[in-house]
Amino acid sequence: MDKGFIQQFIDWILQNGGLYFLLLVVFAETGLFVGFFLPGDALLFAAGLVLDKLAEEFFGAHFSFVLILVILASVLGNIVGYWFGFKTGPLLFERKDSFFFKQKHLKKAREFYERYGKGTIFLAKFLPIIRTFAPIVAGVVRMEKATFMFYNVAGSLAWVCSMMLSGYYLNTFFKQQYGIELIDYIEPIVFVMIGVTTLPVLYKLFFAKKKIVPTPPTNDYDAKP
């Protein structure tokens, strides 16, 4: 069976510091502008399919250590995003668009925050694009740091474990029951995951007609400097 592009890409990752590449992607997607387009859900699921190999790369450790490292990367990414939003404040909403920064993404994250409040930091982990900008918005509106960290850690734990462990245990099940390695079918699996997790968000971002939320003044919130 010929390997598709995604399969070859995963093989390349495994042969060229796969774990460290995964950590970099998770860190970037959860707090840096440059990471908003990265398919974190699909990559985490794919990493779960080869979790044992990633663990071997990390000094032959148990796969739980890999999970911990990825969770930490997600937590640290959010902290960086929060710090950036905290430092830039409402002026960020006046920043001009660039290749790595889009006002509509920031405003969509703000709308999400307005609707779900503090729980946004937890829920956003499961939403592409929103998870990149949500911690930045939390910093802009001066969410209490302890509250932010609680939802940050809880969301990172739930997101990473659900994605990676579902890949790991599904692959184990199909291998034991049917002799099938899901990694051999990673192309259709990844495309389905990207479609399920990304298309609804993209539709909301680009086609849904909603009133744009104005630039937020910091005194609208119970700010803690």
Segments forming the whole domain that contains residue 107: 5-220
Helix/strand/coil for 11: helix
Residue 225 lies in a domain: no
Contacting residues for 73 by C-beta, under 8 A, at least 6 apart: 22, 23, 24, 26, 27, 30
Residues 107-156: pLDDT tens digits?
A: 878 888 888 888 889 988 988 788 888 898 899 888 999 999 999 999 99
Asked if the model's pLDDT at residue 214 lies above 50, the reply is no
Domain membership flag for residue 188? yes
Spatial distance between the Cα atoms of 145 and 162, rounded to a whole number of angstroms: 25
CA distances from 63 to 66, 153, 180, 218 (A): 5, 19, 21, 43
pLDDT category at 213 given cuts 50, 70, 90 is very low
Closest CA to 154 of 118, 116, 106: 118
Q: What are phi and psi of 77, to 5 degrees?
A: -60, -45
Mean pLDDT of the region 195-220: 56
pLDDT tens track for 34-53? 666 666 787 888 889 888 88
Mean pLDDT over 173-181 rounds to 91
pLDDT at 209: 55
Where are the alpha helices (H) located in 33-144, listed in sequence order? 40-49, 51-57, 63-88, 103-116, 120-123, 130-140
Determine the pLDDT at residue 150. Answer: 96
- In a domain, residue 31? The reply is yes
